[in-house]
Structure formats: structure tokens, C-alpha cells
């Protein structure tokens, strides 16, 4: 038991023979506070307790959180490095695996140039690791090809916030303030299943009379508790948001003074939404006129409101546009930079916020510095001790790296903390790309579907076997504590990357003994950048229950509320971009007459490699299924539980029907947490947003068919 925990009053949770280590959940951006029980003698994990005094989540954990610790001593952990020999994985020593990587990486670059290597990162890792992945790609390997799984997650929110606010921080307000808001407009977020521990704040606010509007093609557990549920057609958010803006303006809800003082482009926006009458909006979105008017008035009349959204609006080929329009609603109402009001995207992965700030993106350096800015390149080159001439140029986005593989430009890939064989769109293309690689390395602690393609798999530690920081969905930088020693022969990713860097002749740039040393370097690297961590230290995080960035100096309090006085744009004003209505990449046709959308269930996490291994979660939700309205089912004579075939322009898959009236009659929904023949991403459209390069996971055109197996016909 540490002083920290005694001070925090958790003494009464203590049991004889056990240590209680205070940390956060490994999964989503909520980063719920928890204590993990460790047997003092054996070091085995004995269980978990929620952290009642964690101000963001107040002792709440969801079903994934309470079982997260079961990953640590899981029997399927990768114990030693694996090398594929004659198509089969064989356990090897670290020395053998790292020597092979050194040989293959060196040979590939000698034959095909520096950029023949590529790095595919992820943000289930700490800031320290994410920072190092970027430095590893650019300094140790010297390649321009690096991108990461956040491209499939937060990139449209990032693009939208940069356009409107000039900087991308997921939330403009701290979460506990939500309790004091009086209206929530929530678009494309199934908060109750995906950020379940947030719901308490909505309830608290609703007990005081707060209103809630939910915009989702499905009546999710989140929509069910709303005052208005806008059940729009997938891919029509930009029309809906334009329609809401039209009404906010027409009905006199605009905070004229705020807009005049703090926003640009109002007149243009006003003109552009002129045509979006409730009738026109209803025609495009398929939502009843009355609902649109009711929602606009409810939001418009509220005093302290929060616009919130998530992947439902962002994972579209118009994701950035959607984000700017929903954000403009809050700007017109003068809600940004004030108490208990603002805009927030529900950041997805545990470190989805911090992991996108420190250089895993194809075009970004730490602290949101731009690779295209010579001053930024000079500054970071200096921190890294390299010649600015040696800094690689910007690369391409995550999905586009597979195009580079197909073209023969990328010949080897190091995947660190991601499972794109399940989670990228159009998986057959991705699987084929993996097969085309000359050499592939994966760091993971479980043998993911992606790891199965690799030539070498390196056993990484789980989040509980290493220390570091993450940045939660509020923008609060928090401390992930080391709970226990690394299992088997696994090593933290930062150690693995530093070791490879050494073998690539760049060891002097990777002299780290602790994650804290990496954080100290990150503080300097982000100093003066838009995501400035310079004033944040491990000690401060512990003392203050986290510190919000930007925090330029140690005596700066951090920034829980963003944009109180000015926005991060050159003139300090927010932008109100104009967005014309565009159809999604695919719309229903005669051949593919329905819309398919995808997403999550409460019991599984992302590609499922972590949660499909936890018995309790598998008992709750063992397999994927397709949600279908009974009216659509009756047209095809399909029954509950029947296995049917779904086909898109990419491929086909089979899955079971789940009948529900909680979905639009023209829309189907499949959760995406399973791999191979169960992966819905076999069907999804890799059409990308032009700015964020986000794939359109949320809309594609599909046909459904009965399977007549007994008769041998289809």
C-alpha cells in the first residue's frame, strides 16, 4: 500500500497479503479509475476495485473494466518471441528474433530504400510509447511511412476541430461539469454502451431537469433515455446539422454578441443553410419534420448546453464536415469556453487523445507540430539530436499504406498495438497486402488476427506491467501505474523499439531506462506546441488527480476549460465552415438496396482480441449478428436467429438475424468485434474523407439473401 492510496482514503479496501495499486482501465477513453489487487507473495492478480474518489468516474466501471485485469495472467499471453518457420510459429529467444528483424530491415532498406519500411501504430499505449513509436519510425528506421489506428477513430474529430477551433482537443470542458448542463445534443454516440460510466453525469443533470437529444439511426440504450430521438438515415448528418442550424438562426436562438466577437464566416454560414428548411431536411434525412423542430427548439432554448458526438458522425466520407457543422451549433449558441457547456467528441481508445498528439500521424510531430513546417522540423530535430535534413517527409494515412504495399513501395511493416486485419475496412485487400509484404513484425500480447500474418511476433507487456501516462477524453493527463512485473518474457514496447533502434545503429537516440525519462523528453518536445505538456510532471499528476493540457509551465494550472478568451486560430476567432449536402460514398441501388452500418456492443472492445478472450464477456455476447427491422425481415421471410448472407461491392459474409424494432426499416447494423469470416469489415467501404482520410465505416450499400443450404441452392 503506497502513501498515495492511504492519502486517497482507500485503506478500507486493503486485504491482508495483497497490494492494492491505483491505476486506470486499459480500454476506452473514459480511463476509469481503479485499484488492482495483487497477491504480495505470488504477484498474481487477485481482482479489481473501482476508484470511488476518481473525479471523472466516481467508482463506476463497466463490464469490460471489471474484467480487464483477466488479461494479465491469461493463458493465451504470447510468452516468448515467435518466428514463423515453414508457415508455423516457433518460439525463439529475443536475441534470435531481434537479429532477424535487424537483418531483414537492413536488407529491405538496402534493396528498396528507407521508405520501404513502414510502421502501423496504435493508441492503446501510453503517451511515452506513442511518442516513441513516432521517433522510432523517423529516427531509428528513417521512414516516412508511419500512421496509426487513430486514423480509423479520431481523425475526423481532429480535422473538424482544427478547422473550427484551430486545435484538436476532444473536449472543451471537464466531465464533472456535465452534471450542471441543461441540455445534451448527442450525435452518433452510443454512450451507454461505449462510454458507459459517462451516463451517470447525464442522469445527475436530468434529475435537475436537463434535456437530451440523441441522433442515431438506431434506438440505442442511449437514445432510449432521450427526450427526442432523431432516427436519421445513416450518412445524412450534414443535412440534419444544416437543418438544425437553419432553425437556430431562423427562430432567433443565435447569441449574436458572441458570434460577432468570437466567430468568423457567420454571414456565409447563414446563407448556406437558408435552403435547409425542416421539410427539405426531413426529405434527405428521413426524419419527421416535427422531431427536427422539437430538437432545434430544445437545444436552442437551453442555457448551458453540450454538443457531443462520436464515430457515428465521424466515420463517414464527410466526417470532418459533420464535425464542423455540429460544432457550429454550439458556437452559434455562444456555448464554448463557459462553465458546463461546450463541445466534446467521445474519444475512443484509452489514449486516443494523447496518442494522436505526439507524432504517430503521417504528417505530425510531437505536440501537434507539423512535418510541413520547417521551424517545427528544426525544433524536433534538435530535441532528437538529428540533422533536420534527415527528418523524413510526411507519409500517407493508415489505409493508404496498404495501397503503397500493393504498389510495391512498402515492403515491410511493423505493426505495434493494432489489429487492422479485423479493424480496417475492406479486409480482403488488407489481408492480401499483408501477404504481399516481404517481412512483417507485430508487437502484441495476444496472437491477434494481424499477428497471424507476421513473420516475427514480439511479446509486449499489457498496460498493467509498465508505467506511463495517458490523456483521457477530457484532455486530462493521468498516471498509469505499474501494477506487476512483466509476465513471461514480455517487454514494454518502448524497450523493444529502443532495442531495435540500437541494432539499426541509432542507439544513442534511444537511451532510456524508464518511461519517466521518455516523458521528460516529451515535455521538451511538446514545449511551445499546440498540445503543450511542458508543465506536466508525474508528481503533479499524482498530486492533482491529473493535469489538463495545454500546460506550458509547472506553475500553470492546466486548462480544463478550453477557449475561455480566444480560439487557437491565428486571429483568435472560431470558424463557421460552410458545408454543402453530399451523398455518402455509396447509396442503395437496385443491386444493393439497403444501408449497412457498423459499431459496437458493451461487452467487446474494438477488434475483440482482448475481450474475446474473457469468458464472462463471451458468455454475454459470443458472436456477431445483424440487427434487422421486422418489416424488412418479413419482406424476405427471414426469422430471428436465421443465418443469412450479406453482400456488398467488396465481399460477402454470413451472420445471424437479430430482429429489433430499434433500427430504421432501411438500415442494418453489425457489430465489428470479430475476425476472419466473422468480420463485418469484409463488407465495409474504404471510401475516405478527403481531409481526415477516415474510412466510411458507418455507411455502405448491401444486399441480403436467405441461405437454402439443405436444397443445395442459394
Ligand X SMILES: Nc1nc2c(c(=O)[nH]1)N[C@H]1C(S)=C(S)[C@@H](COP(=O)(O)OP(=O)(O)OC[C@H]3O[C@@H](n4cnc5c(=O)[nH]c(N)nc54)[C@H](O)[C@@H]3O)O[C@H]1N2
* Residue 54 interacts with which of ligand SF4, Mo ion, ligand X, none, CB < 5 to 8 Å by class: none
| Chain positions contacting ligand X, by CB under 6 A | 28, 122, 124-125, 149, 152-153, 187-190, 193-195, 215-218, 220, 234-235, 237, 310-313, 315, 346, 348-349, 416-420, 422-423, 443-446, 448, 460, 463, 493, 597-600, 602, 604-607, 609-610, 669, 672, 680-681, 684, 697-699
* Residue 320 interacts with which of ligand SF4, ligand X, Mo ion, none, CB < 5 to 8 Å by class: none
Query: Do 669 and 684 meet the contact criterion of CB atoms below 8 Å apart?
Result: no
Query: Do 295 and 208 meet the contact criterion of CB atoms below 8 Å apart?
Result: no
31 is a contact residue toward ligand SF4 (CB under 6 A):
yes
71 is a contact residue toward ligand SF4 (CB under 6 A):
no
CB of 561 to ligand SF4, least distance (A): 23
Query: Do 423 and 672 meet the contact criterion of CB atoms below 8 Å apart?
Result: yes
CB of 387 to ligand SF4, least distance (A): 42
CB of 314 to ligand X, least distance (A): 8
* Residue 124 interacts with which of Mo ion, ligand SF4, ligand X, none, CB < 5 to 8 Å by class: ligand X
Strand partners, 655: 644
| CB-nearer residue toward ligand SF4: 62 or 531 | 62
Q: Which helix (H) or strand (E) holds 46?
A: strand 45-50
Q: How far is CA 560 from the centre of its chain?
A: 21
Segment interacting with ligand SF4 (CB under 6 A) among 23-31, 125-133, 316-324, 647-655 = 23-31
Interacting residue with ligand SF4 among 28, 230, 259, 480 (CB under 6 A): 28
Interacting residue with ligand SF4 among 32, 371, 617, 621 (CB under 6 A): 32
196 is a contact residue toward ligand SF4 (CB under 6 A):
yes
Grid cell 508543465 — which residue? 535
| CB-nearer residue toward ligand X: 270 or 692 | 692
Judged by CB under 6 A, the chain residues 136 through 195 that form the site for ligand SF4 are: 195
* Residue 202 interacts with which of Mo ion, ligand X, ligand SF4, none, CB < 5 to 8 Å by class: none
Torsion of CA 341, 346, 350, 353, to 10 degrees: -70
Which of 462, 460, 469 lies closest to 522, judged by CA?
A: 469
Q: Tell me the residue nearest to Mo ion as measured from the CB.
A: 348
CB of 639 to ligand X, least distance (A): 23
d(CA 154, CA 168): 10
CA torsion through residues 604, 605, 608, 613, sign: negative
65 is a contact residue toward ligand SF4 (CB under 6 A):
yes
| CB-nearer residue toward ligand X: 181 or 189 | 189
Query: Do 278 and 244 meet the contact criterion of CB atoms below 8 Å apart?
Result: no
Which of 610, 313, 282 lies closest to 449, judged by CA?
A: 610
| CB-nearer residue toward ligand X: 33 or 535 | 33
25 is a contact residue toward ligand SF4 (CB under 6 A):
yes
Q: Residue 267, class by beta-carbon neighbours within 10 Å (0-12 exposed, 13-18 middle, 19+ buried)?
A: exposed
| CB-nearer residue toward ligand SF4: 174 or 196 | 196
Grid cell 454538443 — which residue? 307
d(CA 180, CA 331): 19
Interacting residue with ligand SF4 among 19, 21, 23, 27 (CB under 6 A): 27
Size of the site for ligand SF4 (CB under 6 A): 13
| CB-nearer residue toward Mo ion: 246 or 600 | 600
Query: Do 671 and 598 meet the contact criterion of CB atoms below 8 Å apart?
Result: yes
263 is a contact residue toward ligand SF4 (CB under 6 A):
no
Compute the C-alpha angle 9/12/16, nearest 5°.
125
Query: Do 675 and 430 meet the contact criterion of CB atoms below 8 Å apart?
Result: no
Q: Which helix (H) or strand (E) holds 6?
A: helix 3-7
CB of 156 to Mo ion, least distance (A): 11
* Residue 143 interacts with which of Mo ion, ligand X, ligand SF4, none, CB < 5 to 8 Å by class: none
CB of 388 to ligand SF4, least distance (A): 39
Q: Tell me the residue nearest to ligand SF4 as measured from the CB.
A: 65
Strands, E, within 569-616: which ranges? 574-575, 594-599
Interacting residue with ligand SF4 among 21, 36, 48, 61 (CB under 6 A): 61
Q: What is the CA radius of gyration of the chain?
A: 25
Strands 183-187 and 211-215, how do they pair? Answer: parallel
Which of 74, 76, 83, 143 lies closest to 113, judged by CA?
A: 143
* Residue 238 interacts with which of ligand SF4, Mo ion, ligand X, none, CB < 5 to 8 Å by class: none
CB of 27 to Mo ion, least distance (A): 11
Query: Do 361 and 162 meet the contact criterion of CB atoms below 8 Å apart?
Result: no
Q: At 91, give phi and psi (nearest 5°).
A: -65, 145
Which residues does 46 contact at the CB level (< 8 Å), separation at least 6? 15, 18, 37, 38, 39
Residues near ligand SF4 (CB under 6 A): 25, 27-28, 30-32, 61-62, 64-65, 195-197
Amino acid at each position: 500500500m503506497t502513501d498515495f492510496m492511504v492519502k486517497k482514503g482507500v485503506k478500507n479496501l486493503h486485504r491482508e497479503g495483497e497490494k492494492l495499486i491505483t491505476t486506470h482501465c486499459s480500454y476506452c477513453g473514459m480511463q476509469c479509475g481503479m485499484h488492482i489487487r495483487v497477491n504480495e507473495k505470488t504477484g498474481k492478480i487477485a481482482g479489481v476495485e473501482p476508484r470511488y474518489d476518481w473525479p471523472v468516474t466516481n467508482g463506476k466501471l463497466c463490464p469490460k473494466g471489471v474484467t480487464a485485469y483477466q488479461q494479465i495472467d491469461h493463458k493465451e499471453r504470447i510468452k516468448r518471441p515467435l518466428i514463423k518457420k515453414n508457415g508455423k510459429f516457433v518460439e525463439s529467444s529475443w536475441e534470435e528474433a531481434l537479429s532477424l528483424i535487424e537483418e531483414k530491415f537492413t536488407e529491405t532498406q538496402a534493396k528498396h530504400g528507407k521508405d520501404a519500411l513502414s510502421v502501423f501504430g496504435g493508441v492503446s499505449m501510453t503517451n511515452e510509447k506513442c511518442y516513441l513509436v513516432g521517433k522510432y519510425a523517423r529516427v531509428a528506421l528513417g521512414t516516412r511511412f508511419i500512421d496509426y489506428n487513430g486514423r480509423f477513430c479520431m481523425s475526423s474529430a481532429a480535422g473538424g476541430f482544427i478547422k473550427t477551433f484551430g486545435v484538436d482537443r476532444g473536449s472543451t470542458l471537464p466531465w464533472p461539469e456535465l452534471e450542471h448542463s441543461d441540455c445534451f445534443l448527442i450525435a452518433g454516440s452510443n454512450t451507454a454502451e461505449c462510454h458507459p460510466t459517462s451516463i451517470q453525469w447525464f442522469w445527475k443533470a436530468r434529475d435537475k431537469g436537463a434535456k437530451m437529444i440523441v441522433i442515431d439511426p438506431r434506438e440505442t440504450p442511449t437514445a432510449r433515455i432521450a427526450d427526442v430521438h432523431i432516427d436519421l438515415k445513416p450518412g445524412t448528418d450534414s443535412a440534419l446539422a444544416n437543418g438544425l442550424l437553419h432553425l437556430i438562426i431562423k427562430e432567433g436562438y443565435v447569441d449574436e454578441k458572441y458570434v460577432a466577437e468570437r466567430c468568423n464566416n457567420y454571414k456565409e454560414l447563414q446563407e448556406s443553410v437558408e435552403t435547409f428548411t425542416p421539410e427539405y431536411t426531413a426529405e434527405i434525412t428521413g426524419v419527421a419534420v416535427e422531431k427536427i423542430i422539437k430538437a432545434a427548439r430544445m437545444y436552442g432554448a437551453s442555457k448551458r448546453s453540450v454538443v457531443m458526438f462520436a464515430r457515428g458522425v465521424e466515420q463517414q466520407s464527410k466526417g470532418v464536415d459533420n464535425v464542423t457543422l455540429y460544432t457550429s451549433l454550439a458556437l452559434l449558441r455562444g456555448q464554448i469556453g463557459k462553465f458546463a457547456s461546450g463541445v466534446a467528441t467521445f474519444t475512443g481508445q484509452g489514449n486516443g487523445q494523447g496518442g494522436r498528439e505526439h507524432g504517430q500521424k503521417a504528417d505530425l510531430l510531437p505536440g501537434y507540430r507539423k512535418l510541413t513546417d520547417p521551424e517545427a522540423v528544426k525544433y524536433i530535430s534538435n530535441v532528437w539530436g538529428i540533422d533536420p535534413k534527415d527528418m523524413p517527409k510526411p507519409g500517407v494515412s493508415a489505409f493508404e499504406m496498404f495501397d503503397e504495399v500493393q504498389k510495391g513501395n512498402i515492403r515491410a511493416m511493423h505493426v505495434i498495438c493494432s489489429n487492422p486485419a479485423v479493424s480496417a475496412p475492406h479486409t480482403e485487400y488488407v489481408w492480401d497486402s499483408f501477404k504481399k509484404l516481404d517481412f512483417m513484425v507485430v508487437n502484441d500480447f495476444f496472437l491477434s488476427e494481424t499477428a497471424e500474418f507476421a513473420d516475427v511476433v514480439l511479446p509486449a507487456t499489457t498496460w498493467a506491467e509498465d508505467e506511463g501516462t495517458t490523456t483521457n477524453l477530457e484532455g486530462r493527463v493521468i498516471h498509469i501505474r505499474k501494477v506487476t512485473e512483466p509476465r513471461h518474457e514480455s517487454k514494454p514496447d518502448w524497450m523493444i523499439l529502443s532495442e531495435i533502434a540500437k541494432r539499426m545503429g541509432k542507439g544513442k537516440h534511444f537511451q532510456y531506462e524508464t518511461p519517466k525519462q521518455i516523458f521528460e523528453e516529451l515535455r521538451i518536445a511538446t514545449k511551445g506546441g499546440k498540445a503543450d505538456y511542458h508543465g506536466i510532471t508525474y508528481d503533479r499528476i499524482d498530486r492533482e488527480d491529473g493535469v489538463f493540457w495545454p500546460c506550458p509551465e509547472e506553475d500553470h494550472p492546466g486548462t480544463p476549460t478550453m477557449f475561455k478568451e480566444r480560439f487557437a486560430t491565428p486571429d483568435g476567432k472560431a470558424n463557421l465552415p460552410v458545408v454543402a449536402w453530399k451523398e455518402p460514398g455509396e447509396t442503395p441501388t437496385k443491386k444493393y438496396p439497403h444501408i449497412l452500418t457498423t459499431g459496437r456492443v458493451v461487452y467487446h472492445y474494438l477488434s475483440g482480441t482482448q475481450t474475446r478472450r474473457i469468458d464472462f464477456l463471451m458468455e454475454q455476447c459470443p458472436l456477431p449478428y445483424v440487427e434487422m427491422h421486422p418489416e424488412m425481415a418479413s419482406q424476405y421471410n427471414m426469422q430471428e436467429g436465421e443465418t443469412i448472407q450479406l453482400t456488398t461491392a467488396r465481399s460477402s459474409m454470413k451472420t445471424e438475424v437479430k430482429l429489433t424494432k430499434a433500427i430504421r426499416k432501411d438500415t442494418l447494423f453489425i457489430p465489428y468485434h470479430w475476425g476472419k469470416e466473422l468480420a463485418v469489415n469484409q463488407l465495409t467501404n474504404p471510401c475516405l474523407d478527403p481531409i481526415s482520410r477516415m474510412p466510411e465505416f458507418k455507411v455502405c450499400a448491401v444486399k441480403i439473401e436467405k441461405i437454402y443450404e439443405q436444397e443445395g441452392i442459394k
